[in-house]
Structure 1
Amino acid sequence: MEDEHVSIDMEKLADTLNGKLETLHHLSKDCSIYRVAEPKRCLNPSHFTPQMASIGPFHHGNEELKPMEEHKQRYLKYFLQRTKVRMARFLSFIKERETKLRNCYAETIRNLGSDEFVAMVLVDAVFLIEFFLRFYKRNFRTDDDRIFKKPKLYLEIQDDFLLVENQLPLFILNDLFDLAKTATYEDAFYENISLAEIACFWFENYVIESLDKNSLKIHFPNAEHFLHLILLCLQPSQSRAQILLKDQNIPSVKELHQAGVKFKPAAESTKNLLDINFNKGILEIPFFKVYDNTQRAYRNLLAFESMHGHKKYFNDYIIMMACLISCPKDEELLVQNDVIRLGNDGNIATVFGNLVRGSALSSYNFQYSGVVTNLQAYRKLPWHKWKAALKQNYFNTPWASISVIAAVILLLLTATQTVSSLIAL
């Protein structure tokens, strides 16, 4: 009887558990928007959490972000005033794509019912579109615009657009913008403009200095969201031979300088931040500047690259730069050679040192393995060190060069006089 009673209880438990299994939401393989794992988040929570504006469902309704909701609704009002498309049509348009939109997120959105989700997508999507319009064309800005007028909140808001948890799928932004263009009151402006045009204008002026406008427009149709667009633009522009990196000790700029390596910014035609090359004793690094938001944006790019299963090109770039710039002297040498410019954030070595934590160097797939191997070989040749030491210690200024030459001449004259005196004897 006891065994039978236990069996009945287990059957009831099994039925309960089976019921939960049957109600599990389908998870799509097409997801591209993720939550950052708690162990990584807790190290730098502010780098993954929006400070001013929530975009998408993950942070929707957060109490500290509610003040921005009124500004979002005001942007929606002005956006609707420029198109003859009714709000109900926009909502219906989003509703038809709700399943596809939800599938873009790596977890089930349980806190928002269908109507709430659709309304949230409309408000947030139009907020982004209107933001880009006002960034692109100043006469779109109204007197009651607290974002671009006083107190100019856009300087803080735009940092939130590059958070891995704070994304909307690009396809819905593009489709809503095209829908609005089908019947507008300002046909002259909208006729030849696209979302790619206005969004890329913001990207090339704000996000990362080396992003190329043409690359942005080429990759825009295939990008899942803003972070994905940046990573697509940062794919290496050249194929590198994959060789095993036997020695993972990447020398710093200071060590390379002592070995006679010269540093210069990459050619103007090079717009890819990741195109680091070494040839004939010259290390070329694409010019960049560290901004106040650089560490936050880079950290989210690293997180997305890792979670989305991309080849870890950006991860390798961070490792390479962290090794090259490990102390203030490294920074100083690159500034002197016009490779980097220091922003308000100050210490670049600290920025890359913080970013590199948690990054792993793979000896088999490191994209700069050829560059590092050649740098190590160049550094080991004694002649390069002697030549560098001679130049840096004795020919580093015109006056030092003159002094050395004068000393050599004096030595030769003294030696000649001594020899002449000995011959005379």
Structure 2
Amino acid sequence: MANEEIYYSEEEQNELFERLESLKGRINGNSENMKALMSFKTRRPMRSVMYRVPDALRQQNEDAYSPSSVSIGPLHAWDRPVRAMEGRKLSYMCCLFERTATYELTERDCMAAMIDMETVVEECYEEVKPFEHQRFAELMLIDGCFIIELFYRRCRKEEDPILENPYHFSAIQHDSLLLENQIPFFVLEKLFELTIKRIPENNNTQHSLTLTECVLSFFGDILMAKYIYPREDMNPYHILHLLHNCYLPPPENIAWDYLKDEDQVKSKHSATQFSNAGTKFQAGDYGTVIFDLKFSSAPTCFGLITKGYFKITPFYIYELTEPFLRNLIAFEQCCPSIYHFFTSHAFLMNILIDSEKDVKLLEDAGIIHNYLGSSETVAILFKDICKNVVPRRIIYAKVYNLMMEETIASWINRRTFLRLFFNNIYVRMTVIGAIILNVLTLLSSIYTMLSYYHS
């Protein structure tokens, strides 16, 4: 049977050719995707950059991925909880047009730009429901103008009913960070150019404010790591991607060879276990990238025992931290051109934090600043946030494994030293003699100094 020739009738052959021609047409129509796949090493982004959160992640915490106050883009445009904001979004759009002093011209130019972009923008989304009452271009116009006007008011410290209400402001911040609640950044840039850039300053020159400045003014330093590095060459896909990039180290400081390392964490031990074995956790310097983790060791006890020092950049945990981290991780999981920095950081914290004792140890070291309340809450957060997440690489594998090896070696040396000390009288006498000699030398030095000052 395996050697029999497969026969297709003429009708079946024609049908097959038609299907192949249709498939070729679809491939040619998605040339950007094909180029990205064919040259994956160049890390070119896929055309679709607006992703749905995988169900396995969404099930862990639905509220962390779904908007509760405002929808941005098409994926949640028809959700009932966010419909109440639609009228307010229109008013923000009108206010933005009025700033330019050429209302009708700005409105016409913005709408024309969105119509020209409509097909390209729609192809950026993995999934878009059919629009029955509203054109896609109209949706982009209203949502984009709402974001720009609100962010501009925040940047200019203008009075605003949303910004002055802590609850509403926090809710809008939360919803604007969600992976499924984004519109392409090039849409925002075009609307920003046609609106804010047309607002004359005192000397009638073009407005110098940038969209990135407005975004960072609205969100600030979410992780409170006191490190944000906005680069001019970021080319973000959307606002969440912009914030993702702002926390990464400068390109010249990223050890790309280090990221290519295929090693995984060889074994898992918590912060408390490391501490009990002699490793000391220390807070890194503020103002350094949150991914800058360093391990070093130094000899102690006459060089017989090595003590390890694991330095981790401090970060803050409060209400907005979990949804921000969850959506960044979901973005890294979905987008093949993004390095897994936040995923790796969360995995490392999950390894180090096995219980609230580990959280308390990192809090005492000044590494974690907990504003959620109990240490147990933080421990649960990092356990849950890594469920159903598959990192391509844990970029801290080398650092962790080095700490593991050094700690084990130090522990073995300590055990060997103690065994020799208690079982061998000559070792005990040597160590005690060395201690007595050092004490006598110290006392002699003190006596000499005191005699000098009294003379």
TM-score normalised to the size of structure 1? 0.77
Summarize the Cα distance change of 1:331–1:370 in structure 2 as closer, same or farther, 3 Å threshold. same
Using the TM superposition, give the Cα deviation of residue 118 of structure 1 relative to its aligned residue in structure 2, in angstroms. Answer: 1.2
Summarize the Cα distance change of 1:182–1:374 in structure 2 as closer, same or farther, 3 Å threshold. closer
| Equivalent in the alignment of 1:306 | 333
CA contact (8 A) 1:273 1:286 kept: yes
Please tell me whether residue 172 in structure 1 is matched to residue 191 in structure 2.
Answer: no
Using the TM superposition, give the Cα deviation of residue 255 of structure 1 relative to its aligned residue in structure 2, in angstroms. Answer: 1.0
Q: For residues 157 and 231 of structure 2, what CA distance do their matches in structure 1 show? A: 22
CA contact (8 A) 2:278 2:411 kept: no
CA contact (8 A) 1:98 1:118 kept: yes
Please tell me whether residue 127 in structure 1 is matched to residue 146 in structure 2.
Answer: yes
Q: For residues 325 and 195 of structure 1, what CA distance do their matches in structure 2 show? A: 38
Q: Deviations over 1:126-149 (max 9, x none)?
A: 11111211221222x24xx2x123
CA contact (8 A) 1:288 1:339 kept: yes
Instruction: Report 1:22-421 matches (<5 A).
Output: 26-27=29-30, 29=33, 30-83=47-100, 84=102, 85-107=105-127, 109-112=128-131, 116-139=135-158, 141-142=159-160, 145=161, 147-150=162-165, 152-184=167-199, 191-205=207-221, 207-210=222-225, 212-213=227-228, 215-220=229-234, 222-235=235-248, 237-239=253-255, 241=258, 245=263, 248-270=266-288, 272-280=289-297, 281-309=308-336, 310-344=338-372, 346=374, 347-360=377-390, 365-382=393-410, 386=414
Using the TM superposition, give the Cα deviation of residue 382 of structure 1 relative to its aligned residue in structure 2, in angstroms. Answer: 4.7
Using the TM superposition, give the Cα deviation of residue 20 of structure 1 relative to its aligned residue in structure 2, in angstroms. Answer: 9.7
Q: Deviations over 1:227-276 (max 9, x none)?
A: 22233234454316465647632321111111221222222341x22221
Q: For residues 197 and 400 of structure 2, what CA distance do their matches in structure 1 show? A: 54
Summarize the Cα distance change of 1:178–1:243 in structure 2 as closer, same or farther, 3 Å threshold. closer
**1:138 is paired with a residue of what secondary structure?**
coil
CA contact (8 A) 1:292 1:345 kept: no
Q: Percent of aligned positions with the same letter in both sequences?
A: 25
CA contact (8 A) 2:60 2:384 kept: no
Q: For residues 286 and 321 of structure 1, what CA distance do their matches in structure 2 show? A: 12
Q: Deviations over 1:208-235 (max 9, x none)?
A: 323634x224354x11112222332344
| Equivalent in the alignment of 2:425 | none
Q: For residues 286 and 70 of structure 2, what CA distance do their matches in structure 1 show? A: 36
Letter in 2 for 1:254: T
Using the TM superposition, give the Cα deviation of residue 48 of structure 1 relative to its aligned residue in structure 2, in angstroms. Answer: 1.6
Using the TM superposition, give the Cα deviation of residue 114 of structure 1 relative to its aligned residue in structure 2, in angstroms. Answer: 10
Q: Deviations over 1:362-391 (max 9, x none)?
A: 6xx43112211211112213558859xx9x
Q: For residues 167 and 19 of structure 2, what CA distance do their matches in structure 1 show? A: 53
- Give the aligned length: 373
Summarize the Cα distance change of 1:99–1:212 in structure 2 as closer, same or farther, 3 Å threshold. farther
Using the TM superposition, give the Cα deviation of residue 315 of structure 1 relative to its aligned residue in structure 2, in angstroms. Answer: 1.8
Summarize the Cα distance change of 1:150–1:164 in structure 2 as closer, same or farther, 3 Å threshold. closer
**1:153 is paired with a residue of what secondary structure?**
helix
Instruction: Report 1:2-17 matches (<5 A).
Output: none
Q: Name whichever of 187-196 and 325-334 sits farther off.
A: 187-196
Summarize the Cα distance change of 1:243–1:18 in structure 2 as closer, same or farther, 3 Å threshold. closer
Using the TM superposition, give the Cα deviation of residue 53 of structure 1 relative to its aligned residue in structure 2, in angstroms. Answer: 0.7
Q: For residues 217 and 361 of structure 1, what CA distance do their matches in structure 2 show? A: 26
CA contact (8 A) 2:225 2:316 kept: no
Using the TM superposition, give the Cα deviation of residue 82 of structure 1 relative to its aligned residue in structure 2, in angstroms. Answer: 0.5
CA contact (8 A) 1:56 1:167 kept: yes
Q: For residues 93 and 330 of structure 1, what CA distance do their matches in structure 2 show? A: 53
Using the TM superposition, give the Cα deviation of residue 158 of structure 1 relative to its aligned residue in structure 2, in angstroms. Answer: 1.0
Q: For residues 384 and 59 of structure 1, what CA distance do their matches in structure 2 show? A: 57
Summarize the Cα distance change of 1:181–1:53 in structure 2 as closer, same or farther, 3 Å threshold. closer
Using the TM superposition, give the Cα deviation of residue 341 of structure 1 relative to its aligned residue in structure 2, in angstroms. Answer: 0.7
TM-score normalised to the size of structure 2? 0.72
Using the TM superposition, give the Cα deviation of residue 360 of structure 1 relative to its aligned residue in structure 2, in angstroms. Answer: 3.5
Q: Deviations over 1:285-324 (max 9, x none)?
A: 1110111122222111111111111232322211111011
Summarize the Cα distance change of 1:385–1:203 in structure 2 as closer, same or farther, 3 Å threshold. farther
Letter in 1 for 2:237: E
CA contact (8 A) 1:35 1:164 kept: yes
Q: For residues 53 and 309 of structure 2, what CA distance do their matches in structure 1 show? A: 39
Summarize the Cα distance change of 1:235–1:197 in structure 2 as closer, same or farther, 3 Å threshold. closer
Q: For residues 325 and 281 of structure 2, what CA distance do their matches in structure 1 show? A: 24
Letter in 2 for 1:183: R
